[in-house]
Amino acid sequence: MPVEIERKFLLSAFEPPPTAVRQHIEQGYIAIKEDGTEVRLRRIGGSFVLGVKRGTSGPEPSPVRIEVERELDEGEFADLWPATEGARLAKDRYTFDASGVTVYVDVYQGELAGLRTAEVEFDSEPEAAAFPAPDWFGPEITGVKAYKNQTLARQGLPKS
């Protein structure tokens, strides 16, 4: 089953380690439903991806989500992209190993500039729960709606 189990944290500062792989990501949402189900277009490096994440009607925050993705060609992506108007964001993603796990740091751009997050994916919920966040991680935002990409793409940075 295509399931995503992840935890997400804010970062106050970030200096990419020399081993980090950087990818530019532009993503937009074709649809975002009340239950959290989302249909996303993503350009990541030279790839184009259509993805559906099913929302859970269960209690939030849950680190588990069902996700299905398929590659598109550039023409298909361009044809569908207008359907994401008003729900887009851009970020640079740095991927590297740290503290025994793979860490994905997103440095947001444009209207979201200043926001940095770190995500870690796990194979199981117990593993996710047992993960000791390293010192350089800030507050945890797993499942926090205001920091979901689907919210950021439509509403911008949370008012603090």
Q: Which residues bind a second copy (CB under 8 A)?
A: 1-2, 30-31, 33, 35, 37, 39, 50, 52, 54-55, 66, 68, 70, 72, 75-76, 79-80, 82-83
| Nearest alpha-carbon partner for 39 in 72, 16, 12, 15 | 72
| CB of residue 119 to a second copy, shortest distance in Å | 21
| CB of residue 47 to a second copy, shortest distance in Å | 14
Residue 91: strand, helix, or coil: strand
For a second copy, which is the closer residue by CB, 42 or 91?
A: 42
Is beta strand 116-121 parallel, antiparallel or unpaired with respect to 47-54?
unpaired
Return d(Cα 14, Cα 137) in angstroms, integer: 10
For a second copy, which is the closer residue by CB, 22 or 70?
A: 70
For a second copy, which is the closer residue by CB, 50 or 98?
A: 50
| CB of residue 20 to a second copy, shortest distance in Å | 31
CA distances from 32 to 64, 66, 78, 105 (A): 18, 15, 20, 24
- Given a contact cutoff of 8 angstroms between Cβ atoms, the answer to whether 87 and 32 are in contact is yes
Q: Is 29 designated active site?
A: yes
Residues belonging to the active site? 29
